[in-house]
Structure 1
Amino acid sequence: MNKYELAVVLSAKLEEEERAAAIEKVQGYITRYNGVVTNVDDWGKKRLAYEIQKSKEAYYYFIQFDGDAECPGEVERHIRIMEPVVRYLCVKQEA
């Protein structure tokens, strides 16, 4: 299994419950495709480097997980169409 880190940027317009539900959904996608979530870092609301969808701030989450080579692609396929997700990036961590 490989180690991955997924950065998820959520809209600043979301309430606490909506953000928690979105992150829970992302974690569900990871486990659905044989991944194991090892850590979730909530960085809170941060200023964006540039305006995205007329918003200057967003919520940042970093999710570390272990999975096989197909897992990140499948997770990204689902995250891409999630409404509250502004940006995302999944990278393989060095061993």
Structure 2
Amino acid sequence: MRMYETIFITDPDLQDEVRNTLFDRFKGILEQEGGILANFDDWGNKKLAYEIAKKPRGHYVCMTYGGTGTLVTELERNFRLDDKILKYMTILLEKDIDPEALKLQIDAEAAAKSEADAAKAEADAARVEAEAKKAETDETDETVDAETPENEEEN
């Protein structure tokens, strides 16, 4: 099994539902051909270096996966046949990978990401709570200041 990275550019005017259906189709092809999806990164709409099909922008997607040459051939055949795909490019990252090691690596990265997300959510909650306490104490201080009579100077 080999490790590949495919970057493809879709029509930026596609609706999200159509785009997601397209992505699901490519993921399905990957699974049908026995590939292992390591990373699916949606980069979003970006300006193209030059116009492609009279479009100055494109929606970029990067897929990293393990598979065979037939998988790449099938994916690229589908890219060529679909008018929604403006450009694509596949590169070989590693010639020989262990599928089990790849699955373990993907699981470890997913676990690390979920832990990081949980830690971030906890930190955000603590920050919001601290801001709420600070706002509450500021309101209390303002109320006390308003109730305290100011010293009047007698002439």
Identify whether the pair has TM-score above 0.5, normalized to the shorter chain.
Answer: yes
Question: Relative contact order, CA 8 A, sep 6+: which one is greater?
Answer: 1
2:60 match: 60
Alpha-carbon distance in 1 for matches of 2:54, 2:69: 35
Query: 1:21 maps to what in 2?
Result: 21
5+ unaligned residues in a row in structure 1: which ranges? none
Which residue matches 2:135? none
**SS of the residue 1:13 aligns to:** coil
**Identity level (%):** 29
What is the letter of the counterpart of residue 29 of structure 2?
Y
| TM-score, scaled to structure 1 | 0.92
Aligned equivalents of 1:94, 1:64: Cα separation in 2: 11
Q: How many residues align?
A: 95
Higher strand share: 1
Greater helix fraction, Structure 1 or Structure 2 = 2
Q: Which amino acid aligns with 2:83?
A: E
Partner of residue 33, structure 1: 33
Scaled by the length of structure 2, the TM-score of the pair is 0.58
Instruction: Structure 2: give runs of 5+ residues left out of the alignment.
Output: 96-155
Partners of 2:87 and 2:31 in 1: CA distance: 21
Where 1:46 maps in the other structure, the secondary structure is strand
The alignment status of 1:6 with 2:6, answered yes or no, reads yes
Conserved 8 A contact 1:29-1:78: no
Aligned structure 1 segments of 4 or more residues deviating by more than 4 angstroms: none
Two-structure CA RMSD over aligned residues (Å): 1.2
